[in-house]
Chain A
Amino acid sequence: MSPAKTTSNTEDYLRMFRQMVRIRAFEENANQLYLSAKMPGLTHMYSGQEAVAVGICEALTPSDKITSTHRGHGHCVAKGAAFREMFCELLGKEEGYCRGKGGSMHIADQSNGNLGANAIVGGSMGIATGSALRAKMQGSDDVTVCFFGDGATAQGLMYEVMNMAALWTLPVIYACENNGYSEYTRTDEIAAGDILARAQAFGIEAHRVDGQDVLAVNKLATDLVERCRKGEGPFFLELTTYRYHGHHVGDINREYYRPKDEEAHWKSERDPITILQDWLVAEGIASKDELDAVQKDIRAEAAAAVEYALAAPYPDVAEVDMHVFTDIPHATEARI
């Protein structure tokens, strides 16, 4: 933890703590909803990676854009989404952010600049780059952050769009969350060379940062976002981090690809919430009791949102063929 305490930053530090706890609390409830068979389908947990989403999104404004991934709940919370609409979406309810049509893998609070989680690995890299092209064409100073995992660095699309972003000096930050695993395979088995070098090949300035240290992530992100606004983009970030769960909630017996002691080590020694909490206490910014109270309040809020979502109505069946096209109210009216 490098940044020194200043009075003006106190609220920022506490907000980052709250946002990381919000993500953890959301995921704990999502996991329970899956394990208790109350959630349709499955989901991919963000727990362990909270400092990445929060450190970056705290450097953004609501008009800045992000694109997210199949492991997207953390980005959604960090960009400002509310628990109720998120749990409603996970459960396929009408009040969900996508009216229940997207679910976990397409969740997004669009009004906060979240262009969507994406269930195709690497699928949003073009979208993020296009959003940045739009900003440049319109003379807008907003920045787009493209979140993706280490697994997505194997997709060709990444190199096509980084080439264009570098040629056209677009205000986009490619944020690679390297949690060490591409689904069920160790990333060092599928990735040759240095990930940073892949961006550097296009002349893109690239940085590696400890993705468990939210203050380090936020400091770097704040700097790069401001430089993007001045036309110095694009940038590439590799954030070293760890996912506490398997590839998805059902990936429980996973010792064949990941040892339990490795998981235990990250949870006990590298947990992003514990790291920030210890620092906040050591710096005298908050007491352990105060931070425990924050955790308790957030968990109560999450539990209430789960209860609300469980009781919330499903979409009317008439919605099934709505929103296929913007101008055709029901796309299959013609079907006999």
Chain B
Amino acid sequence: MREITLSAAVNEALAEEMRRDDRVFILGEDVAEAGTPFKVLSGLVEEFGTARVIDTPIAEPGFMGVAVGAAMTGMRPVVDVMFGDFLFLIMDQLCNQAAKTHYMSGGKLNVPLVVRTNLGATRRSAAQHSQSLHALVAHIPGLKVAMPSSAYEAKGLMKSAIRDDNPVVIFEDKLMYQDKAPVPEEEYLIPLGEAQVLREGSDVTLIGTSSMVQVCQQAAEVLAAEGISAEVIDPRSIVPLDEATLLASARKTSRAIVVDEGHQSFGVTAEIASRLNEKAFYHLDAPVLRLGAMDVPVPFSPALEDLTVPTPDLVAEKARLLCAGELIHAA
């Protein structure tokens, strides 16, 4: 199978959906000729024109609001939020308007839009261009949240998100845009709410999101060499969350670590760990562990920034302790 980058996969998904459905359009900052700073959208304006690939002023609340209104009246906008950190600027339009309109109207109005944005630290971009804020939007009922872990997922999830009648926020890891993965030539979709078991194991379950899936995979390799069998699962979307697949794995292995690049406190790791504790408690041999990003603003200096995100070594170390029955939760 051919291999393409995550960036090319997103580009293909958008192009295919724009060819299929003329209600789909893109708007955001520098999306047209510039193709975004990450060049993910390069070539789209040449095919679809500036009427469907719309450069907006630098006004995130404004163009997010415009997208909500367009979606409510029959279009299917894809909103490009250049950095995930800028989500704070669009919170009213996303969380008070888009997320609640279907419910507040008693099911009569829909808001079929996609917010494309990114997450991920270690790009030496400091505290306002490095955050992973998916837990904030996952907290709001009415928003779906997808987190692709490779080019394959990025394309399949994007196509599903565009066809979804609800607002969907997709977080791409900005450090993975040039990472290649096998992606079929033929069309495929990945439904939101279906986790994937990437590696089967019997001793410990490693649940990773976005780029933390790679971290978990690398940790599993290290652990395998030591005789510890790790199962690796990618939820692919955190809303809806494929709880059944996660629970089945935790019940089977009796141990689990949840790895995510959002801040550890009040985040995705806490939510998933809590559900496993509530629903798989009697199958567990150890407390479910959480590994999120350190609860500090992301620092600029490489010497500091690299300390803030989970690494394969850290995941492997925690897995060893879990499997050895160490009371690490009391440490």
Give A contacts to B, CB under 8 Å.
Answer: 65, 67, 96-102, 106, 108, 110, 115-116, 118, 120, 123-135, 137-138, 144, 156-157, 160-161, 163-164, 167, 322-328, 331, 334, 336
CB closest residue in chain B, given A163 = B57
B residues less than 8 Å from A65 (CB atoms)? 73
**0/1 interface trace, chain B 265-299, chain A, CB 8 Å (1 if under):** 00000000000001100000000000000000000
Report the Cα distance A123→B243, complex, angstroms. Answer: 35
Number of A-B contacts (CB under 8 A): 152
CA distance A118 to B98 in the complex (A): 12
Q: Please, which residues of chain B bring their CB within 8 A of the CB of A336?
A: 278-279
Q: Assuming the A-B contacts A115-B109, A134-B74, are A106 and B104 also in contact, with contact meaning beta carbons closer than 8 angstroms in the complex? A: yes
Are A110 and B105 in contact, with the CB atoms below 8 A?
yes
- Write the residues of chain B forming the contact surface with A, with a CB cutoff of 8 angstroms: 25, 51-52, 56-57, 59, 61-75, 77, 92-93, 96-97, 101-110, 141-142, 144, 164-166, 240, 243, 278-279
Indicate if the CB atoms of A160 and B69 lie closer than 8 Å.
Answer: no
A216 CA to B109 CA, complexed, in Å: 33
Q: Are B69 and A129 in contact (CB under 8 A)?
A: yes
What would 18 more interface pairs be, CB under 8 Å, given A116-B109, A164-B63?
A97-B105, A97-B106, A100-B106, A102-B104, A106-B105, A115-B73, A127-B97, A130-B69, A131-B72, A134-B69, A134-B75, A137-B75, A160-B59, A160-B61, A160-B62, A161-B62, A164-B66, A327-B166
B102 A130 Cβ-Cβ under 8 A: no
The closest CB in chain A to the CB of B113 belongs to: A130
Task: Select which of B61, B66, B96, B142 is within 8 A of A325 by beta carbon.
Answer: B142
Is B51 a contact partner of A126 (Cβ separation < 8 A)? Answer: no
Sort A-B residue pairs by CB-CB distance and give the 10 closest, nearest first.
A126-B65, A130-B69, A160-B62, A99-B106, A127-B69, A160-B59, A98-B106, A130-B70, A323-B107, A130-B66
Which residue among A108, A127, A130, A334 has the maximum number of chain B CB atoms within 10 Å of its CB?
A130
Residues on the A chain within 8 Å of B62, using CB: 126, 129, 157, 160-161, 163-164
Which residue of A is nearest B59, CB measured? A160
- A325 adjacent to B72 (CB under 8 Å): no
Q: How far is the CB of B163 from chain A (nearest CB, A)?
A: 11
Q: List 19 A-B contacts (CB under 8 A).
A: A67-B69, A98-B105, A99-B107, A110-B108, A116-B104, A116-B109, A123-B92, A123-B97, A127-B72, A129-B62, A130-B77, A131-B73, A134-B73, A157-B93, A160-B65, A323-B105, A324-B141, A326-B110, A326-B165
Interface centre among A101, A123, A132, A133 (most CB of B within 10 A): A133
B141 to chain A, nearest CB (A): 5
Give Cα A326 to B243, complex, Å.
20
Say whether B93 contacts A126, CB under 8 Å: yes
A97 CA / B75 CA spacing, docked (Å):
23
Q: Is the CB of A116 within 8 A of B279?
A: no
**A161: chain B residues within 8 A (beta carbon):** 59, 62, 65-66
Q: A325, B69: Cβ atoms under 8 Å?
A: no
Knowing A164-B62, A327-B164, say if A131 contacts B105 (CB, 8 Å).
no
Closest to A322 in B: B107
Inter-subunit contact A96/B106 (CB<8 Å): yes
State which of A134, A144, A164 has its C-beta within 8 Å of the C-beta of B59: A164
CB pair B109–A110 under 8 Å, yes or no, is yes
What chain B residues lie within 8 Å of A328 (beta carbons)?
Answer: 240
Q: Are B166 and A101 in contact (CB under 8 A)?
A: no
Contact at A133–B66, with CB atoms within 8 Å? Answer: yes
Residues of B within 8 A of A110 (CB): 105, 108-109
Task: For the complex formed, measure the closest distance between the CB of A19 and the CB atoms of chain B, giving whole angstroms.
Answer: 23
Please name all residues of chain A whose beta carbon is closer than 8 Å to the beta carbon of B59 when the two chains form the complex: 160-161, 163-164
* Contact of A137 with B73 at beta-carbon distance under 8 Å, contacts A110-B109, A129-B65, A157-B61 already known: no
Residues of A within 8 A of B93 (CB): 123, 126, 157
**Most interface-central of A65, A102, A156 (chain B CB within 10 A):** A102
**Bound: A120/B91 CA distance, A:** 12
Contacts of B105 in A (CB 8 A): 97-98, 101-102, 106, 108, 110, 116, 323
Set of chain B residues within 8 Å of A100, measured between Cβ atoms: 106
Indicate which residue in A138, A144, A331 contacts B141 across the interface (CB closer than 8 Å): A331
Contact A101 B141 (CB under 8 A): no
List chain A residues, Cβ under 8 A from B240: 328
